[in-house]
Each structure stands twice: as C-alpha cells, then as structure tokens.
Amino acid sequence: MSDFEQPSLFDSPDGPKRRKTGGRKASRPAAAAAPAPSAAPEAVPAVPADDKDLGDGPLHRLMDSNFLEYASYVIRDRAIPEIEDGLKPVQRRILYSLNQNDDGRFIKVANIVGYTMQFHPHGDASIGDALVTLVNRGYLIEGQGNFGNIHTGDPAAAARYIECRLTDLAATQLFNDDLTEFIPSYDGRKKEPVVLPAKLPLLLMLGAEGIAVGLSTRILPHNFGELLQAQVAILQKKPFTLLPDFPQGALMDAREYDEGRGKVRLRAVIDQKDEATLVIRELPYGVTTESLINSIEDAAKKGKIKTKAIRDYTAGKVEIEIALAPGTGIPQTIQSLYAFTQCEVSASLRPIVIREQRPVELSVHDILRHNTRRLVDLLRKELQIERKKIDEALQAASLVRLFILHRIYKRIEECRTSAAVKQAILDGLAPFRDQLRRDITGADLDMLLAIPIRRISLYDLNKSRKEEDDLLADFAAVEKHLTDVTGYTVRYLKNLYRDYADLHPRRTRVESFDTIEMRELTAKEHNLSLDREKGYLGYGDIGGDPLFPCSSYDKLILVWDDCRYRVIPPPEKLFVDQNLIYAAIYNRDRVMTLVYESDRITHMKRFTFGGVIQNKDYTCAPEGAPAKALFFADDQPATLYVKYAPRKGQQIHQQEFEPKKVAVRTPKTRGIQMTTKKVTAITTQKPRNWEAKAGPKGALLH
C-alpha cells in the first residue's frame, strides 16, 4: 500500500474495499442497492479532552508519520542541495535531461522542460525557473534567446521561444554512466541518477538558497578559478581562503564571512559623472534596478537624499544616473545612498546541505574538502575503468592477430556444430595462451566468429602491432596515474584552470567598508517645533516656537506636568496638549532633576530614564496619588531658590536647596522630602525680590 492509500480510520474492518484501477479503463461499479430503513443513529459520545489515549490514537500516529515523511521529503528532495554533486533534484534532472538529448545543437527549452517532467513530479513552472537560473549562472547551460535580465529582474521569454544546450564544461565534467547509480523515477517508467558524478564543486560555484520545514540554507556563489586553486591547495595541504563572487560584480566586505557561516556586506559601485550627477554601475547581489530606484525614491521623499531626477539607462550593463539637487555634496550623498538605500545590503548565511540523507551545517571550507575527496575518488574509479577497457582492448587485439596470422579460421571449415567450431578455435589458440591477457571466454569466441572475411583479407600486421603498442603505452600511463592519484588530481585541476578559468574572471571586488553613522548624515534632517497654544509638536508645518534639530534616527523624550513621560520617534505632527513641560532627544543615561508635589508634600529627586519602550507612558513619580511637577531640568543646578505662599503664622517664606545632595535613583523612587509648605515658585537664579535674611537654608529630609 502506498503512502497515499491509507485505509480510512472510520471504516469498519468488514466495510467495502478500495476499488483497484490498474488498467487503462476501470470497470463500472454496480448500482448500489437502496438502503433499508433503519432507526435514527445513536449519538456518539464526545471524547473528553483529558482522555489519556487521545494523544496516542491512530489519527495522532498517522499525522505524526505523514508530517515527518512530508518534512523529510521537502528537505531532501526539494529545498536543500546534496553535498555529493552540489545540486537540488530539479537541477540534477534538468542537466540529466539535457545530456540525454545532447547532440551539440540548441534545444527548445519547452522540449527540455517536458522531458524533465518525466523525472520531476512538480510541474513545468519550477523546472523552467530553475533552468533559467542555471543559464544565467553561465557555467553549465548556454542559452540562446531572451533569458531575462539579472540586473533589472525582467523575466525570461516563454519556453517555446528560447533554446539551450550544455556548455563544454558541463558536458565533459558532469556525466559518466559507468560511475552513476540509477533509481526508478517517481512513476517507475524511467531511470534517473541518484547523484551526478560531477568533478566540479558545483554547490560553491552556483550557490544555493532554499527553505524547508524547520530549516533553511543560503550559500553564496564563489569564483570558479579560485575554487580550483583552493582544491589544489587542499591536495597539497596548504592554507587557502574562499570568498564569494557574484555575477553582478559590486563591492564586498567579507570580514564577517566566517567560512560561509557569518555575513557579508555588499555595496553598489557608484561613480561621479560630473559635479551634479552620480552613476550607479554595478548592483549588490539580489538587488534589481527597480528595487534600487524605489529605495532611492523613498529615501528622497523622507528627506534623507536630495535628488532632482533618477534616470535608468540599464540594458546589458547597469547604468542608473542620479541628478542631485543644487548645492548637494557628492561625498555626503554617496554615504547617504549606502546608508538609506539598497546601494548597500547585507547577507546572512547558513550553509546547510544533505549528507548521507541528513541535513548538516558545514563551512564552505568543509564542503570544498568533501568535494575534493570525492574528486580524487571519482578520478581513481575512472582510471580503474579505463585500465579495464584498455586491458580488454589488448585482449581483443591479441586474439584477432593470432586468429588471422596463424590462420586459425581455417580450422572451422570442416566443423558441423557450434560447439565444434568453438572448440576448434580454442585448440588453435592453445599454444599462444601466454600471449593473452586472460583466459578466453565465450564472448571472445563470439567476437572472433563475427570478424568479416573482408577484414581478414585486408589485415595489416604492422598496423595491428602499432595499435597494440599504443594500447600498452596507454595502459602503462594509467597504471602510473593509479600509483599517485593525488598528483594526477592536481594536474587534472590545473588543466581545468588553464582551459576555463579565464572564461569566468572574478567580478566582485573585496574591500573593507567604514561604518556609516546615520545620525551624522541626518543631523539636521528635521527641525522640531512646538505650538504651545494649540498643543502640537512636530517637524511639519505647524508653526509655533522652534525647539531643536533632530534626525529620523533620533528618539524624543516628552515629559508632562503630571510627571508622565513617553519616548517617541520624531513626529511630523503630534498633539501633545498644552501641559508639555519638557522635550528633548532621548538619552537614557542623562541625569534629570525633578521637584514635584504629591499629597501636599513637595519632594526632590534626581534620576535617569534608563531603558524604555517607545510610545508607552511611564511616570517619574511614585504610582498612587496624583503628582504635579513644579520643576524639571536635564542638568544639576547648583542651587534651587524656592518661594512659599504666605500663610498666617508662617515665618519662613523662602529657602535655598542644593540638588547635589540628592542621590541619583530610578524614575520610580519617591525622592527626598523638601517641605510641606505651598510652593509658588522655583528658580535656578536668585530672584530680584530675594531677601537674603528672610529664612534659613532648606534642609532635605531623608
């Protein structure tokens, strides 16, 4: 029974069986008899939620089993590449289909998609997309026609209008039926390879991205020539370094690459055309001209970049012109483009591959070491197969020479049976057994009997001797290679580098980027104002009194007279009412001084705001009784001059207090009691009507 033919959990064991439809036509089911009248069905009692068997019932086990099978299938057979050949199943099937149909000429993509569907059970869209991606990588498949544009993101033309074929690199380095294990395709009609015997580090050449159940992978593409050089270094036990390389070019800071497990920062290449124009020549990996222009326009709308026009002349190469507004500085604009647009992006990486049917996380160095060990093993097997083929060719050449030279074919003229014919040949070759590579088999005899008379009459002994000598020389060369497979692999890689590395030069330049301080670039982006009469705060057109400049990356701290405070991003226009007493750029460590009245007692406190959540109201007075702020400042005054309301019998009408005597605490602390008198004014400068001898210095009650 297949995974898709599970018996119903609600059918009785004696219920109707599933109808089989193995042939082209299914037999028509007999008409069902009318059901006999029956009483109303009995109500089935509900299963209690706390039933101990509920979590281990048949449905639960079925769901667990099916989910695990599905998750395993998505991970191994769709999303995550295999470390052995570096390919996802759809890529492997496309390349195998191209090889099966390869005659050196271009083939319609629609034909290849259709042929691949014999092996791939997920429809033509995924096959077509994967094929276009392989063509645009440039290593394995050569395209003819419109395969889209990696710079603009434009899609490829319809599959019936474009053609492709294997490159010479793919045709010579990916396939060998003698080294390939085949399994039945999904419907059992065809055979497909488990993995290709690829001699190239395809996973690191092409890169990979995939999302599966519970995990994802992202591996960046690397330079072909540098990978071959690194493999040589591995075989020679020398140190090596691997860094990504992208077909789009651009700039890369790989200081945090961490062998493929960290991240890289990528920047566009920006040139200055003249004093008022910048030109973007290369894009970061994964960025298109459309998405880049949209990000520049968004930054311009927010006032982060001052532009006059953006013109896109991209065709075969990227060319985006940015006309700057008059008076705009070129260096600062370039820094702003990197800070606020997709001219700079970062890519976080996680190299997960399938190894021995399980997903594992490996560094790119580990992946390349595995590829190199596999290359050595493949070349050893190829040499062993080649040695066997040469040995068989030598055996056949020796048999033919002896058969014709010593006229053994004459012995079969009087034979009347097949057995007698073969025995006559064996008897004729018996004196020459020491000249053969092995014992004579039935296949050898069939080969001799299939020699045409014309070949016997035109047989050239000298030519035959030369062919045998050439075969012996080839055999000796293979034997020599097998004694030093590592050295043979090094020479093999160097030959590959010589033949193909110049076709794939490094396009991405490696540099170290300076960190851009966004606050510095936007230090005067907004000018904050407060309309005290209407109660509005913001950088928009609200009128009122100007407060201070700020940037979009600043946070504002607002304090009201009821001791509430809130941290917000700079608003364009926000109603804060008329009771706002303090607004500034938020600094969690700045020491504040507060005098407030609560329950007819005046307290003084010093505190820092510390960490807060944006747009959430806090209080800098103890929770409970209402509080009213009488004095609030973001510094430490040397002296506070306090005036009291006059009352009958009150002798003290003013006092001086020193805030430095109050310890710095958190906003929720009560603070130090100053007085129970009614406070009418608090200043940091001595008032004109201050009476020098009107009262003692104030004491803070701890």
H/E stretch holding 581:
strand 580-585
**Mean pLDDT throughout 298-317?**
88
Encoded tokens for 570: 């700079």
Lowest mean pLDDT among 441-445, 467-471, 535-539, 635-639: 635-639
Same domain, 572 and 618: yes
Examine the fold and report which residue of 182, 197, 212 is the final residue of a domain before the chain moves on. Answer: 197
- Does one domain contain both 569 and 628? yes
Is 328 in the same domain as 432? no
Helix, strand, coil percent content, the chain, rounded in steps of 5: 35, 20, 45
Among 468, 503, 538, residue at a domain's last position:
503
Same-domain check for residues 529 and 488: no
Q: How far apart are CA 374 and CA 489, in angstroms?
A: 11
Which range has the worst mean pLDDT, 113-127, 251-265, 622-636, 685-699? 685-699
For 376, phi then psi, to 5°, come to -60, -45
- Domain range for 150: 87-197
> What is the percentage of the chain residues whose pLDDT exceeds 90?
52
Structure tokens that stand for 380 in this block: 């050893």
| Contact of 213 with 70, CB cutoff 8 Å | yes
Report the DSSP beta bridge partners of residue 215.
Answer: 212
Most confident of 143-147, 575-579, 635-639: 143-147
254/241 Cα distance (integer angstroms)? 11
Same domain (yes/no): 400, 455? yes
CA 675, 676, 682, 686 dihedral sign is negative
Which one, of 559, 702, 580, lies nearest residue 634 by Cα?
559
- Please spell the DSSP secondary structure of 83-128, one letter per residue: TTT---HHHHHHHHHHHHT-SSS-EEHHHHHHHHTTT--S-HHHHH
Can you give the pLDDT at residue 409? 87
Q: Are 159 and 146 in contact (CB under 8 A)?
A: no
Q: Is 4 exposed, middle or buried (0-12, 13-18, 19+ CB in 10 A)?
A: exposed
Alpha carbon 9 to its chain's center: 41
679 - beta bridge partners? Answer: 644
For Cα atoms 622, 625, 627, give the angle at the middle one, nearest 5 degrees. 70
In a domain, 248, yes or no: no
CATH of the domain at 564: 2.120.10.90
Residue 383 lies in a domain: yes
CB-based contacts of 407, cutoff 8 Å, min separation 6: none
Q: What is the pLDDT of residues 641-697, one digit of tens each?
A: 888 888 887 878 888 888 888 889 999 888 888 888 888 888 888 888 787 766 566
For residues 46-52, average pLDDT: 52
Number of domains in the chain: 4
Pairwise CA distance, residues 388 & 470, whole Å? 15
Q: Which CATH number belongs to the domain containing residue 425 in this structure?
A: 1.10.268.10
CA 80 to chain centre: 11
**In a shared domain, residues 656 and 531:** yes
Residue where the block lists tokens 């419109």: 146
Q: Is the pLDDT of residue 28 over 50?
A: no
Show which residues are catalytic.
161
Residue 694 lies in a domain: no
Query: How much is the pLDDT for 33?
Result: 43
Torsion of CA 340, 343, 344, 345, to 10 degrees: 100
301, part of any domain: yes
Averaged pLDDT, 292-320: 90
Q: Are residues 536 and 675 in the same domain?
A: yes
Token duo for residue 15: 């219920």
Structure tokens at 76: 């191994």
Q: How many CA atoms lie within 13 A of 581 on its CB side?
A: 17
Identify the CATH number of the domain in which residue 303 sits.
Answer: 3.30.1360.40
- pLDDT at residue 411 is higher than 60: yes
Of 591, 585, 587, give the one whose Cα is nearest residue 556: 585
Please give the C-alpha separations between residue 268 and each of 294, 311, 333, 346, 505, in angstroms, as whole numbers: 15, 16, 14, 12, 19
Q: What pLDDT is stored for residue 659 in this prediction?
A: 87
The CATH number of whichever domain residue 152 belongs to comes to: 3.90.199.10
- In this structure, the answer to whether residues 188 and 134 fall within a common structural domain is yes
Q: How far apart are CA 695 and CA 534, in angstroms?
A: 41
Lowest-confidence segment of 170-179, 196-205, 301-310 by average pLDDT: 301-310
The pLDDT of residue 75 is 66
Instruction: Examine the fold and report which residue of 503, 535, 560 is the final residue of a domain before the chain moves on.
Output: 503
Run of H or E including 229 = helix 224-235
Cα distances (Å, whole numbers) of residue 400 to 271, 427, 475? 73, 15, 19
**Domain identity same for 498 and 561:** no
Tokens of 17: 């069986």
Model confidence at 61, in pLDDT bands (50, 70, 90)? low
Residue 9, domain member (yes or no):
no
Q: What is the pLDDT of residue 694?
A: 62
Both 282 and 140 in one domain: the answer is: no
pLDDT in tens, 508-549: 999 998 876 665 666 566 789 999 888 899 988 888 889 988
Query: Do 621 and 539 sit in the same domain of this protein?
Result: yes
Q: CA 404, 405, 411, 413 torsion: positive or negative? A: positive
The reply to whether 117 falls in a domain is: yes
The answer to whether residue 542 is domain-embedded is yes
How wide is the angle at C-alpha 124 spanned by C-alphas 118 and 129, nearest 5°? 120
Cα-Cα-Cα-Cα dihedral sign, residues 506, 511, 515, 520: negative
Whether the predicted pLDDT of 700 surpasses 90? no
Dihedrals phi, psi of 651, to nearest 5 degrees: -95, -25
Residue 77 lies in a domain: no
Q: What is the DSSP letter of 77?
A: I
340 and 408 co-located in one domain: no
Three-state DSSP state, 187: coil
